[in-house]
Amino acid sequence: MELPEFAIEAQGLVKTYAGTKTTPAKTALNGIDLKIPRGSIFGLLGPNGAGKSTFINILAGTVNKTSGTVKIWDRDIDHRARDARAAIGVVGQEIAADVFFTPRESMETQAGLYGVKAKDRHTLELLTALGLGDKADAYVRQLSGGMKRRLMVAKAMVHNPPVLILDEPTAGVDVELRRQLWNYVVALNQKGVTIVLTTHYLEEAQELCDTIAIINRGEVVACEPTSQLLRRLDTRTVVVTPRAPLTAVPDLGRFEGKLRGNGDLAVTFKTGEAGVEAVLAAVREAGVAIKDLATEDPDLEDVFLSLTYAAEGVDPTAY
């Protein structure tokens, strides 16, 4: 069987939530085009309210799109809804656990819902992979929040889908458990499962995801390999603390300086075009006596801010 090039393809995807008597209609997705390569760990980033959950809920089938097309594993969600849904496992944002079941029962029920035959079920294997093997027969209400979340991941995998979608999976999960969860996700990916996740932990996205899309106000503002996204900001910033407070930004010739709130002078330059030495020379030449200095490298947070604010026409350094 030929495998699709893209695990998920969305084209011109629009979602407008209907208004009520007191609230106006809200366009949460405003024409999203996204191609998620098969085999990737794909990060969906964006500020609160950007539309990430709406996108995921459309894939999961819990929200109806307004227009546009979506294919999951090459199956159109309008024309082959059942097949499309069979290709994904979705772990939602809310902890949804049935407190009257044990994890084993909960998994078996889920497998039943997906029509997985008894001989094809791997309940204990999945629970063990998520560190819940010894809790298989405990009541779900006795599990910690982190355990419940891992149970949700195990449940999402009962039908062995080729695509696993995680909406803010580590919100409220402590560092140790987060690591465990990611180890499992990476291991799944190495077995060929495409992973799509939304996260607010930008560092985590940077570390885990090979491709990142940034959504802001229902639009994709960037979608590229993580390394390329980081290269977009091939900049460094030299932060100079002057001996005497500056009242205005000095003329630094080809460099542009900005005054920070604490009186430091920050000079950002392209690493391909200049070096720290050249910046310092310009600062000295401008008559600024240097008391202290530091350098800052950009991280995804900077890329994220500059792209999302650029889309709004706001200078990110103004914040």
Whole-number Å distance between alpha carbons of 212 and 111: 31
CA 211-215-220 angle, to 5 degrees, is: 80
Which of 8, 10, 13, 50 is close enough to bind ligand ATP by CB under 6 A?
50
CA atoms within 13 A on the CB side of 87: 21
Nearest-approach distance from CB 5 to ligand ATP, in angstroms: 27
Name the H helices within 196-262.
Answer: 202-208, 226-231
> Binding of ligand ATP at residue 17 (CB under 6 A)?
yes
Tell me whether residue 28 or residue 132 sits nearer to ligand ATP (CB atom): 28
Tell me whether residue 19 or residue 133 sits nearer to ligand ATP (CB atom): 19
> Binding of ligand ATP at residue 26 (CB under 6 A)?
yes
Q: Which stretch binds ligand ATP (CB under 6 A): 5-13, 44-52, 84-92, 137-145?
A: 44-52
> Binding of ligand ATP at residue 52 (CB under 6 A)?
yes
Nearest to 16 by CA among 59, 53, 65: 65
> Binding of ligand ATP at residue 51 (CB under 6 A)?
yes
Taken in order 226, 195, 216, 72, the sign of the CA dihedral is positive
Name the H helices within the chain.
Answer: 52-60, 81-86, 103-113, 123-129, 145-156, 175-190, 202-208, 226-231, 276-285, 300-312
Two structure tokens written together for 45? 């980033």
Nearest-approach distance from CB 17 to ligand ATP, in angstroms: 3
Two structure tokens written together for 268? 């950002």
> Binding of ligand ATP at residue 101 (CB under 6 A)?
no
> Binding of ligand ATP at residue 306 (CB under 6 A)?
no
> Binding of ligand ATP at residue 28 (CB under 6 A)?
yes
Which of 3, 49, 139, 314 is close enough to bind ligand ATP by CB under 6 A?
49
Which of 22, 48, 64, 190 is close enough to bind ligand ATP by CB under 6 A?
48
